Amino acid sequence: MNFYFESSLRIQYKGLIELLPIIFLILTASVLGYFSACSSNIQTALLTFMILLLVSSVAFRNNPEAKLLWTALILKLLSAFAYLWVFVVYYKGTSDSLGYYHSANQVTESIKRLEKPDLEFKFGSGFIAYLTGCIFLIIGTNLYAGFLIYSWLSFIGMYLFYKGFKIAFPYANHKLYLYLIFFFPSIVFWTSQIGKDSLMFFFLGLVAYSLASLFVRVRFRELLYLLIGLFSSLLTRPEIAVITAVAVLFSIISSRIGRGISRIAISLILLVVCYFIFIQSMSFMGIAEISYGSVKDKIQAESDVNYIGGSKFQNTPATSLKQLPINVLNSLIRPLPWEVRNYLAFIASLESVLMFVLLIRYLKSILSAIANLMNNRYIIFVVSYSFLVVIGLSTIANLGLLVRQRVQLLPFFFMLISYSKQMTAELNESHSKQALDIESQLERSVQ
């Protein structure tokens, strides 16, 4: 009995020791923030930074990859300040984030006065402004803290992508995917701002994780998470929400979720939800008639609109399957080093070179995943989503915009890269339930 008592004390003591650095950082930041001459905005940002670290420490306990996760989290939060610097120095304050910040400030002030905000609530920018305004009601109107919170949300999206990948493919190359999803420069940088990119990354991660879990074990919680992710994606970026919904629908149709009535009920619920998202997204994009001709015209029109600025290039809209290979390459490896005109674009071109190396190095893994397309329902989701996003990216004729928008493709493309060629899709699926059981045990041990 003494042995178990001493073991329990050692475990609790170890957990306390793990939290001491966080507690020390919080106390230090509080003291420095109170006695320093810095502004209240800096104090709020420091406090937000420490609180986010403290909240994350609970999730990282008993996690064998805790060191890497801590490194990724700190890098992610610091990238918010890096984006702020680029946004102020390079873009000279013309980033969309500043517009969201001012709109959110108006929403916050209107709510404080118990008045209806003048800003219209609508898909996209309107939703971001209202959500950020509600966040500012809690933390105060603070640009730095707002960037930190959005950067942290996108980090949670990274974590959900990683968990979903491990559940869907228990014997894939998890270490490779971990490094790619948490440390790839574009993902780290472009999802560190107040805006759609950060929030969309979180919602896509939620969809990816909940769908992987739902394929293994039918539970109401996973279905609820999936619905929240889909509806929130619609509010944030309808054009990506419809792609996600269609990909989910394809994978659901080919799967065997649940048995009997539960399977029929889940299929009907998702069918209705996906249809609703499809109709709303088509309306948002101005496509009145659902036909190949109208969609083709829309793709061409979007390409013409984006063909502006010093970073414009001649892209080929994906209006036919024969154009797909060049569209895939354009989506992944542009800009090329000889196409850039400034330092930031040059950094992006180096990443394109890295992407090309990854594409060549892991081509067999990608082909192996595609070859098992009809044997694994999650691969159907990943490939369907990637295929449709590539079509969407083909409408972008501006290299700067392309680099930012392809962030929504990278997590799924990295899944294909990290798919283990030694394991067949059937074996991966047969061990997914075991992976989810292990995850549930870890969750209970933390609680």
Confidence (pLDDT) at 317: 63
Confidence (pLDDT) at 84: 86
Tokens for 222, please give them: 């996973």
CB 131 within 8 A of CB 235: no
Confidence (pLDDT) at 422: 45
The residue written with tokens 């400034």 in the block is 342
Three-state DSSP state, 398: strand
CA 338, CA 213: separation in Å to the nearest integer?
A: 44
Report yes or no on 375 lying in a domain.
yes
Instruction: Give the other-Cβ count within 10 Å of 391's Cβ.
Output: 19
pLDDT digits (tens, 9 = 90+) for 316-325: 666 667 777 7
CA 60 to chain centre: 19
Confidence (pLDDT) at 436: 56
CA 128, CA 143: separation in Å to the nearest integer?
A: 14
Report yes or no on 38 lying in a domain.
no
CA 172, CA 203: separation in Å to the nearest integer?
A: 23
CA 52, CA 148: separation in Å to the nearest integer?
A: 9
The residue written with tokens 């009907």 in the block is 268
Which secondary structure element, helix H or strand E, spans residue 305, and what is its range? helix 292-306
Cis-peptide, bond into residue 335, ω within 30° of zero: yes
Q: Indicate the residue type of 441.
A: Q
CA atoms within 13 A on the CB side of 159: 19
Confidence (pLDDT) at 6: 44
Report yes or no on 19 lying in a domain.
no
CA 5, CA 14: separation in Å to the nearest integer?
A: 14
Instruction: Give the other-Cβ count within 10 Å of 100's Cβ.
Output: 22
Report yes or no on 15 lying in a domain.
no
Question: Taking the model in full, what pTM does it have?
Answer: 0.83
CA 380, CA 396: separation in Å to the nearest integer?
A: 25
Tokens for 221, please give them: 């919680």
CA 414, CA 404: separation in Å to the nearest integer?
A: 16
Report yes or no on 26 lying in a domain.
no
Confidence (pLDDT) at 249: 87
Instruction: Give the other-Cβ count within 10 Å of 353's Cβ.
Output: 12
Confidence (pLDDT) at 118: 78
All residue ranges of the chain with pLDDT < 70 are: 1-40, 93, 255-263, 285-320, 421-447
Closest listed residue to residue 392, CA positions, set 320, 305, 302 = 302
CA 44, CA 47: separation in Å to the nearest integer?
A: 5
Can you name the residues that pair with 398 across neighbouring β-strands? 312
Instruction: Give the other-Cβ count within 10 Å of 279's Cβ.
Output: 12
CB 144 within 8 A of CB 44: yes
Distances (CA, A) of 292 to 42, 278, 280, 320, 388: 52, 15, 18, 11, 14
CB 150 within 8 A of CB 236: no
Report yes or no on 236 lying in a domain.
yes
Transcribe 108-148 into DSSP letters.
HHHHHTT---SSPP-TTHHHHHHHHHHHHHHH-S-HHHHHH
- Provide the residue range defining the domain that includes 359: 77-286+303-446
Report yes or no on 263 lying in a domain.
yes
pLDDT digits (tens, 9 = 90+) for 286-307: 665 554 445 545 555 554 444 4
Confidence (pLDDT) at 199: 94
Confidence (pLDDT) at 10: 46
Tokens for 105, please give them: 């400030």
Can you name the residues that pair with 312 across neighbouring β-strands? 398
Residue 359 CB contacts under 8 Å (≥ 6 apart), including other chains? 332, 333, 366, 417
CB 65 within 8 A of CB 178: yes
Confidence (pLDDT) at 160: 95
Tokens for 268, please give them: 């009907």
CB 139 within 8 A of CB 210: no
Report yes or no on 42 lying in a domain.
no
Closest listed residue to residue 195, CA positions, set 126, 122, 285 = 126
Total number of domains in the chain: 1
Confidence (pLDDT) at 167: 93
